[in-house]
Amino acid sequence: MNTNVPKIQRMTRAGRHLADLIEKHGKPVLTPVDFYSLIRQMYQKSPKKKLYLRKSDPGIDDYHRLKRILVHAGIVRIDRDYRARALRILTISDRPTEEIACLIDPTCYVAYLSAMERWGLTNRSPKALMLSRPDRNTALDQLRRHRQYVLGEHHDTNIFPLHLIKHPARVREGRVKMFMTKLAGANLTIRGSDVRISTIGQTFLDMLQKPDLCGGMPHVLEVWEQHADTYLDSIVAAIDTASNGLVKSRAGYILQEYLGLDHFRISNWKAFSQRGGSRKLDPSQNYVPIYSETWMISINV
């Protein structure tokens, strides 16, 4: 608990009880939906007479009234980076950029070169934290399901309409770059934190789908040369999920011909090989007349 926060003695019983719930919740930031869910928890599970609550379910007026009470009491404030999109809980220590971003936006996760760095695959550091999330419709569906999970089946959807979080350019002094893509994939939550990150297999898959966001194809080949053998099973499982046959051809070439590695599932990817001038190992470079006969891609790196 932050002992530097001034204690305000005059606060309603409901305000004090809500402040206790927020501290037990333990997060340094709350979205409006998260804050409202704690208010609902108080209304539904706490003794109403003791807290002078007159109904079982709070409305938007109760939300604003209790927020004002806690703001005046020095318990919460509007978040300095996300503004009205989040409340900063002053009784709980702040956290790094990636945790704050993941707490406020349930659709995003650390990806690309940032994920490579956190998995220990590269010694390069991106200029900004690289976050990924699905395309707009998929992200809105994720938000809808998250809201339903937080608030339950029965809630007034008009109170908190769905909006994708717009991340500021800087969060907690760290630069942030968001990438919205139809290729968003598997991610996990890092143990002991609220940070979500692309899985190790997805991180390798992203290197072939978006090499420009992963240090460029020459660097990608360096990373695969150093680490692909260690994570071969996870890589193959992730490549199997790719809808793009060219990605499978790139992976097959790198694993079999470039690195001399093999796995019983790699042969299945050969069915996706076909000739074409756009089939290149490095999508950012021009086609060259040096190619793999097996995987039918130009080896232009």
d(CA 161, CA 4): 36
| CATH architecture of the domain with residue range 13-94 | Orthogonal Bundle (1.10)
CB–CB of 266/255 below 8 Å?
A: yes
CA atoms within 13 A on the CB side of 136: 2
Its pTM stands at: 0.91
Q: Where are the domains of the chain?
A: 13-94, 105-198, 215-301
| Token pair for 44 | 């539904």
Strands of the 170-171 sheet, one edge to the other: 170-171, 174-180, 129-133, 109-110, 196-198, 187-189
What sign results for the dihedral spanned by CA atoms 171, 172, 175, 177? negative
Per-residue pLDDT of the chain (301 residues; tens, 9 = 90+): 454 544 444 678 888 999 999 999 999 999 999 999 999 888 887 776 667 677 777 888 899 999 999 999 999 999 999 999 999 999 999 999 999 999 999 999 999 999 999 999 999 999 999 999 999 999 999 999 898 888 876 566 567 888 899 999 999 999 999 999 998 899 999 999 999 999 999 999 999 999 999 999 999 999 999 999 999 999 999 999 998 999 999 999 999 999 999 999 999 999 888 766 578 999 999 989 898 999 999 999 9
d(CA 222, CA 117): 14
